Chain A
Amino acid sequence: MMAAPAPRGGWLIMLTLLLALLLSVAPMPAFMDIGRPLWLALFLSFWVLSVPHRLGLTTAWLFGLAEDVLYGSLLGQNALILCLVCAMVLGLQQRLRVFPQWQQALVLLVIFGLAQLLQLWLQALAGNRPPTLEFMLPALVSALLWPWVQGGLRSLQRRFQVN
């Protein structure tokens, strides 16, 4: 087995994930609030896809927990969802990596949609149910943002040689 090069750029991964956490509570105009992208899920998907050996379910779970505290939702709700998103991306990783960007976005649309559905169920259990189908909008917005997120994070990854 070849000696793996020393891991580098862990701080960048953490920094971008913290940025995602910040973006997920940043104030937005009311009309855009309804389609707030799932920043954490997007950023986690990118890192899991590009450096799967550096972070995994546990990181996703911990950041989900932080999101729960920030949102004031049930502890473990977003943790479970992000964990499942990560697991799905990891499971499809071999195929996703060779897909063109638009196809990746399509697969992610389905994954994020499932995540939002789970979110809806868990919120319904807690007695808080959004009245319309609009809760699917964040999944769509996130999938549309995927090419930009991927492009931006990839250039960062190259610049700082994260491996």
Chain B
Amino acid sequence: MGVRLLILAVLSVVLMVVDARFDTFKPVRSQLGLVLTPFYWLADLPVRAWEGMTSQISSRSELLAENEKLKAEALLLQRRLQKLAALTEQNVRLRELLNSAALVDEQVLVGELIGVDPNPFTHRILIDKGSRDGVTLGQPVLDARGLMGQVVEVMPYTARVLLLTDTTHSIPVQINRNGLRAIAVGTGNPERLELRHVADTADIKEGDLLVSSGLGQRFPAGYPVAVVKEVIHDSGQPFAVVRAVPTAALNRSRYLLLVFSDPRSAEQRAADSAEAQEQADRAAAEQAQPSTSGTQP
């Protein structure tokens, strides 16, 4: 028994070191994950069954009320969308004036939460989209209200997402109001992020919206991340203590969005957008031609 224990212990330690330092086991892990996926499905079955049952027996009046609410919400969103269309148009025009790269609309994929990490000290979730759906390592994940986290492990049909509030996660943000940059670090509390190294005199106050700055090259810029909850100035500390609440419902959202940002390199993107710009100019010129010829007989 002693020998076997020794062998297995050494094997475990070797596995751990290799797993922590190298990528050798990524494919093995992903295949094992594929085999073990039914476990998550089974474990989640009661929750699914319960949801199915409540949706079966929810009463007509409840459905009507929900329908009303959704209609009202749709109306509100449509109004906002109208405004957004005008703003987008304006944005594109201004960007053209600045000769900068065209705004790329990111593609998204809707995923569903199928498991939560059983360890309460790590904030990770499992989603039902994997490498077969094109999910990649490091991909940003959002819900309807803001950024949630990033993909840290990809299996064929599932993927693991590290949430913003995990103690090992940080995200570069900026304040929407004035563009002040900072790093938001997870605290292990699902309702709190902390901004590191913010000067005591920095212009930041309660209620400020923090958006992703896109500086880490991992998250797309401009998505809401958190709202500043309190700013504590302690003269004994070199930096102000800034606490923020994530805007995404990190421990409640069941449906989430996977963002596919542009995989092209910066140069290629610039070249492509220049080409697109040229084409647009040409199209515009061609469109303008007949009208001018029409007015000048």
A residues touching B (Cβ–Cβ < 8 Å)? 21-22, 24-28, 30, 33-34, 36, 56-58, 61, 64-66, 69-77, 79-80, 83-84, 87, 90, 122-123, 125-131, 134-135
Contacts and interface: CB of A to CB of B under 8 A. Distances in A.
Contacts of B36: 66, 69-70
A57 B1 contact: yes
A26 B15 CA distance: 26
A interface majority secondary structure: helix
Given A72-B160, A128-B168, A21 B39 contact: yes
B16 interface: yes
Contacts of A122: 16
Contact of B4 (A57, A77, A130): A57
21 contacts: A22-B43, A25-B39, A25-B40, A27-B115, A27-B116, A30-B120, A30-B251, A69-B33, A72-B124, A73-B119, A74-B16, A76-B13, A76-B19, A77-B16, A79-B15, A80-B12, A83-B5, A84-B5, A87-B1, A125-B20, A128-B121
Interface string B166-191: 01100000000000000000001000
A36 B29 CA distance: 24
Given A25-B39, A66-B36, A69-B36, A75 B29 contact: yes
B11 interface: yes
Given A74-B19, A83-B8, A83-B12, A27 B120 contact: no
Given A129-B167, A131-B188, A71 B118 contact: yes
A76 B33 contact: no
B12 A79 contact: yes
B32 interface: yes
Contacts of A58: 4, 8
Interface in B105-122: 115-122
B42 A22 contact: yes
Contacts of A135: 121
Assign chain B's interface to a size class: 35 or more
Contacts of B124: 72
Most buried by B among A26, A28, A122: A26
A134 B153 CA distance: 27
A25 B43 contact: yes
Nearest to A31: B120
Contact of B13 (A56, A72, A80): A80
Contacts of B280: none
B119 A71 contact: yes
B255 interface: no
Given A58-B8, A75-B25, A25 B1 contact: no
B4 A22 contact: no
Interface string B267-293: 000000000000000000000000000
Nearest to A69: B32
Contacts of B63: none
Given A25-B43, A27-B43, A76-B12, A56 B4 contact: yes
Most buried by A among B16, B44, B116: B16
Given A33-B120, A75-B29, A128-B168, A61 B39 contact: no
B244 to A, nearest CB: 19
A27 B160 contact: no
Contact of A26 (B11, B43, B122): B43
Contacts of B188: 130-131
B15 A56 contact: no
B70 interface: no
B1 A76 contact: no
What 8 A-B pairs are tightest by C-beta distance, nearest first? A76-B15, A80-B12, A130-B121, A76-B12, A76-B16, A75-B19, A26-B43, A69-B32
Contacts of B29: 69, 75
B47 interface: yes
Given A56-B4, A80-B13, A131-B121, 16 more contacts: A24-B118, A26-B46, A30-B251, A33-B118, A57-B1, A65-B32, A69-B36, A71-B119, A72-B153, A74-B15, A74-B16, A75-B18, A75-B25, A79-B15, A80-B8, A129-B167
